[in-house]
Structure formats: structure tokens, C-alpha cells
Amino acid sequence: GPALFRQERVGRGRTRFTMLKFRTMTSGVSDAALRELIARELRGENTSVNGSAKLSVDERVTPLGAFLRRTSLDELPQLINVLRGEMALVGPRPCLSWEAERFPAQYASRFSVRPGLTGLWQVSGRSTLGTLEMLQLDVRYVRTRTLRSDASILLRTVPVLLRQDGAR
């Protein structure tokens, strides 16, 4: 497939937008395993494998894609989404519509701000945290966000990226 991957995501006010990323997976492969993992996490089941809340082996990821993900370089095209005003530098991770539909109502405030290129979840453990922990961090971010906290998250993102913390 093409190097640039476009995917519909849910943003501020639950509006849909097309998020850009570098392609890291083979085209046309099912996401059924990921959907089941997230559904199990939202039911409160422990899905952690080897300290990661992500799929332990994701056959869909290409070798180059694994490198791009590990270094977070796959996220760079989202700077275009930031320039378009669809995303912010800091905010909750933009989610897929099927994820948003499954999130419990008490986490709805995560949709009151633009999704971010980085955020509290990314600097607090990323893939080592499950979906419910991510949602709790998103709500905490929305409740307490300031220009200073955004600057702090941006600064904390640099060493997280360099150390590849929680990257998979």
C-alpha cells in the first residue's frame, strides 16, 4: 500500500477527521484481535502480556513498521493534522469510532478537547497501560490542563521518545 496511511478518527466534540500516519501494517488485515483486546480491557479483565497492554504479537506490523512504531516516527504526518486544527500538540490520543462507542460515559470529557500528538498517557507509560488507565489519564488531563502542564508534557515526551518507553 501507499506510504501514507489515512484513517478516520474521533476528535473534539466527537467529530470525525482523517488522521495521517506512515503505514506500519500490511493492507487489508482484520483488526478483530485488537477489538477483542479493548473490549476485554473495558470489561475490567487483565489483558497485560509481558508488561504490555497491547497485542503481544501483531502479525499485521511490517519490519519497517515495527521500527517506525518503536521510534514513533509513524506519527510525524499528524503534524499536518495539527496545522489543519484537527489535532493539538498535546491532548488525548485520537481514537477510532468503534473505540469511542465502547468507552464508558464517565470518560466522555476526553472528547471536549482536540486530540493530541502526545499526551499524559504517552508520557505515563503508553502501551504498558490498559485502555481504562488511558481513559482515566485523559479525563485527568482535561480536568487539570493548563499551558504549563502542556509544556511539561511536551518536555517529558522528548526523553520518552528517545528511550522508546512503552513503544511497541
- Render pLDDT for 81-96 as a digit per residue (tens, 0 to 9): 999 999 999 999 999 9
Q: Residue 148 to residues 41, 58, 77, 118, 145: CA-CA distances in angstroms?
A: 32, 37, 25, 15, 8
Read off the DSSP letter of residue 7.
E
- Per-residue confidence (pLDDT) for residue 62, from 0 to 100: 86
pLDDT for residue 19: 98
CB neighbours of residue 86 within 10 Å = 21
The predicted structure's pLDDT at residue 28: 67
pTM: 0.81
**What's the pLDDT at 121?**
93
Say how many C-beta atoms besides its own lie within 10 A of residue 1's C-beta.
Answer: 9
pLDDT of residue 14: 97
In this prediction, the residues of the chain whose per-residue pLDDT falls under 50 are: 50-52
How much is the pLDDT for 144?
Answer: 97
Residues 6+ apart with CB under 8 A from 153: 90, 118, 119, 120, 122, 123
pLDDT at 47: 67
pLDDT number for residue 152: 97
